[in-house]
Amino acid sequence: MAAPDPDVDETADVVVIGGGNAGISAAARLLRRGITDVTVVEPQSVHTYRPLLSYVGGGQATMRSAERTQRSVTPKGCTWVRDHAVAVDAVERVVRCASGRSLRYRDLVLATGLIPDTDALPGIAAAMDSPAVTSNYLDAAEKTWKLVRRMPAGGHAIFTVPRPPVSCTGTTVKPLFLAAAHWKRTGRLPGVEITLLVDRPKILDAPDLDVKIRRELRELGVRVLYDTAVTGLFPDEHHITATDRRDGTVRPFSYDLLHLVPPFRGPQWLVDSGLATDEGVGLVDVDPRTFRHRTHANVWAAGDGATVETDPSGGALRRQIAILVDNVVAARGGAATAAEYDGYTVAPIATDAHHLIPGEFTRTGALASPLPRFMDPVKPRRSAWAFDRHGLPQIYWNLLLRGKL
């Protein structure tokens, strides 16, 4: 470690920025691998299992079941600093916090995730405060279920899929399918008009999965517009404007319900600290196979906010964090790397109230299903829904966050 610095308040062997899935599971794994001096910087007092929010928005779970206190999930033996990181000096190996506190590290793990890109789409907060706009991605899952239940017969619902990056692209269409299941069950579908605006040429970069999703949407009668971005929010008038990326055409759309998944980006302070790529969305510039920063050897990152070159998801994090921690330990022993990441990810898509496609694939788009060859890997199954809804939350709280899986 570097010599003591009077401007640095504390030192830690490893500093982890971010106390979500990636950060907590990384801290727990590091402790299990014998790195005993780990500090996690996380401002929130409540930890949320975010994959469960789709089910909260679909009336199948409660917010209480998706939340724990941050203190309860922080691994024993780990120091929790309840603060916002605002800068990193990667040369001096120092993290600066909003309170003025500073932390020196030997290794830094960035698990910051993403934030709404208000430059790309102004007015997100104001829209979310309006009565007909909601988003499971913006901590409004309970509002989603409220609006789904209140949807008038013959009304118009708009759902959106933003351009990359976004956490688990497959989950962006889960609210649509779960809402449609409720409207069908209550006799409002057919009747409710559903529009899906997709700011990319296809939903998923996995051809077999993408074809299946298109078929499911077609069977529901959903109007899908690809390469179409939400570019204007007018919540007082209950309408948006959307721009066709191919020809620049701008069209208005009115709605009774808007489930908005906005464009996202990495935090600006990562850009200002020189840790992000030059691509304009603030992702931490790491080798997508080893998770080591391309310039600063003692900086590591994984998850939604890193250049992992695959569709980020909570399901992908288990492998990412295991490999990242293995590589931190290997680097300390003088080895270049211990393992490499093949881009495995998961896009769990509930196609109705009780059936789900697990959607496992690699960064090449090839399916990575563990099912036997004679079983259709893109067939929606009740067993897959039960595992996603009931099994995975228990695995998350009891194994993943404790570094045991």
**What percent of the chain stands above pLDDT 90?**
92
3 confidence band (pLDDT: 50, 70, 90): very low
Give the integer Cα–Cα distance in Å for 312 and 204: 11
* Amino acid 7: pLDDT: 67
How does pLDDT run across 230-287, given as a tens digit for each residue? 999 999 999 999 999 999 999 999 999 999 999 999 999 999 999 999 888 999 999 9
How does pLDDT run across 293-305, given as a tens digit for each residue? 999 999 999 999 9
Q: What is the average pLDDT score of the chain?
A: 95
* Amino acid 285: pLDDT: 98
> CA nearest 314: which of 210, 213, 173, 166?
166
* Amino acid 336: pLDDT: 79
> CA nearest 357: which of 218, 224, 212?
212
How does pLDDT run across 45-69, given as a tens digit for each residue? 999 999 999 999 999 999 999 999 9
* Amino acid 286: pLDDT: 98
Locate 25 and state its tokens: 């599971």
* Amino acid 2: pLDDT: 43
* Amino acid 390: pLDDT: 97
Other Cβ atoms less than 10 A from the Cβ of 359: the count is: 29
* Amino acid 1: pLDDT: 41
In the Cβ-directed half-sphere of 83, how many Cα atoms lie within 13 Å?
A: 20
128 confidence band (pLDDT: 50, 70, 90): very high
- 0.85 surpassed by pTM: yes
Locate 233 and state its tokens: 């929010």
385 confidence band (pLDDT: 50, 70, 90): very high
Q: What is the mean pLDDT of residues 303-328?
A: 95
Using DSSP, state whether 369 is helix, strand or coil: coil
How does pLDDT run across 182-228, given as a tens digit for each residue? 999 999 999 999 999 999 999 999 999 999 999 999 999 999 999 99
Give the integer Cα–Cα distance in Å for 42 and 165: 22
The one-letter amino acid code at 214 reads R
Which domains does the chain carry?
A: 10-114+266-342+396-402 (3.50.50.60), 118-262 (3.50.50.60)
How does pLDDT run across 131-190, given as a tens digit for each residue? 999 999 999 999 999 999 999 999 999 999 999 999 999 999 999 999 999 999 999 999
